[in-house]
Structure 1
Amino acid sequence: MRVLSRGRNSMSAVAYVTLETALGCFTVQLQGDRAPLTSANFLAYVDSGRYDNSSFFRIVNPSIQGSNGADGISVIVGGTRPLAASNLPKIALESTLHTGLQHRHGTLSLGREDEADSGEGEFFVCIGDHPQLDHGGSRHEDGLGFAAFGQVCAGMEVVEAIWGSAGLQEYLSAESEVRILRAYRVAGGV
């Protein structure tokens, strides 16, 4: 497995990305100054068009799926699926311990597998505050958490509408997935 681990100065400017979905648009502000590797990875997926025509394919909603589901977190998960042939190389985990970012309402974070350095193109947005996803949290046995790297700055109502579309299944059927029509950079945010 090849894992990219670029220097911490690989990205310094704040960047903005809009995701057009079947339920509307929302914009995220990336914290490239604090999470440069993860932000650069997300932008590589955006710039290469890998998020265009992808989807939000998993919605974790404990109120529907039971209080034991996924440590009580509420998130929408989208982008590319783990280990997809078109995914870019996996990247090293930028822990919230080092970035100082936290998993709060509207936080954009990179998905990972059981191994810490396994982030690819799967991302999620938090609905509510979720410290169990930060370094030292309970979501993974290793306690390393996930790599928070951005924040929704416009269109949070669209994120909440996607989350609210959850049915009884955490992993959505193909016809129930919420399509990401395209993802693109925007100047200055909203």
Structure 2
Amino acid sequence: MKRRFGLLALLPLMLAPLAQADERVQLETSMGAIQIELYADKAPKTVANFLEYVNSGYYDGLIFHRVIPGFMIQGGGMDASMQPRANRAPIENESDNGLSNQRGTLAMARTRNPDSANSQFFINTVNNQRLDGMPGKPGYTVFGRVVSGMQVVDSIGNVETTTRGPFRDVPVTPVVIEKATLISMPQASESP
């Protein structure tokens, strides 16, 4: 009897990682809302990092500072004056998780160092498999996908851009992330 109780007591702990797959983040932007489903089961460190930034209000007031039509939109690091916001230490690359940089997926931006991603992310506006990891060559970690608001992503992806100082592909009119909020997915109801 004690053994059965012990297993039942552990059940919530064993199921905890699965619950994270039900989380979504809503980005309220100056051009509309984008809702993103997160894949904590495939990229646990990346999702945890992203959620820390979301829950702390870090992204609120930042912009999509790099927009390349037919490629992606990038945000999560600069304000409208193109000033970077201080971020936390970089995280380990998880691009070997089996997820591909397909249209509508969310991935981490990084430098040439595979383990340099911190707060900046991008949304693929087209299929970008060339950004995927392969044996011996880490890629860009996919950790979510847009489930609502892809028309907003496409609108952002088509804004007029310019060069501001050393930065290229900067929207002429700032596209602001007004608020990033963690929300939960509605649970599927069982049919009789």
Distance of aligned partners of 1:10 and 1:60 in 2 relative to their CA distance in 1, 3 Å threshold: farther
Equivalent position of 1:155 in the other structure: 149
Residue 36 (1) aligns with residue 51 (2): no
Q: Which structure has the greater CA radius of gyration?
A: 2
Corresponding residue pairs, total:
162
Report what 1:46 is aligned to. 54
Counterpart CA distance in 1 for 2:134 and 2:86 is 32
Local SS of the residue matching 2:144: strand
Cα distance, 1:111 vs structure 2: 0.4
Q: Which amino acid aligns with 1:90?
A: P
Q: Secondary structure at the match of 1:76?
A: strand
- TM-fit CA distance, 1:85: 5.6
- Unaligned 5+ residue runs, structure 1? 1-8, 63-73
With structure 1 as the length reference, what TM-score do the two structures score?
0.78
> For residues 36 and 10 of structure 1, what CA distance do their matches in structure 2 show?
12
User: 1:167 matched to which residue of 2?
Assistant: 161
Given that 2:59 and 2:76 are in contact with CA atoms closer than 8 Å, whether structure 1 keeps it comes out as yes
Superposition pairs of residues 89-104 of structure 1, within 5 angstroms: 89-95=89-95, 97=96, 99-104=97-102
Whether 2:107 is the aligned partner of 1:122: answer no
Percent identity between matched residues is 33
Paired AA for residue 88 in structure 1: R
- Which residue of structure 2 lines up, in the alignment, with residue 25 of structure 1? 33
Counterpart of 1:77 in structure 2 is 74
| Change in CA separation of 1:26 and 1:107 when aligned onto 2, cut-off 3 Å | same
When the two chains are superposed, the root-mean-square deviation of aligned CA atoms in Å is: 2.3
Query: What residue number does 1:188 align with?
Result: 185
Q: Deviations over 1:128-159 (max 9, x none)?
A: 1111000139xxxx731100000000010000
In 2, the alpha carbon distance for the partners of 1:85 and 1:127 equals: 25
TM-score, scaled relative to structure 2: 0.77
Take 2:126 and 2:178, find their aligned partners in 1: how far apart are those partners? 25
Q: Distance in 2 between the 1:145 and 1:187 partners?
A: 29
Correspondences of 1:130-141 after superposition (within 5 Å)? 130-136=128-134
1:101 counterpart SS class: coil
Partner of 2:189: none
Deviation, structure 1 residue 10: 9.3
SS, match of residue 27 in structure 2: strand
Distance 1:87 1:10, change over 3 A: farther
Q: Does 1:178 align with 2:186?
A: no
- Structure 1 residues 115 and 10, CA gap change in structure 2 (3 angstroms): farther
Q: Equivalent residue of 1:54, what SS?
A: coil
Contact between 1:10 and 1:37, CA under 8 Å: does it hold in 2? no
- Change in 2 beyond 3 A, CA 1:136/1:182: same
Counterpart for residue 109 of structure 2: 111
Gaps of 5+ in 2: 1-14, 187-192
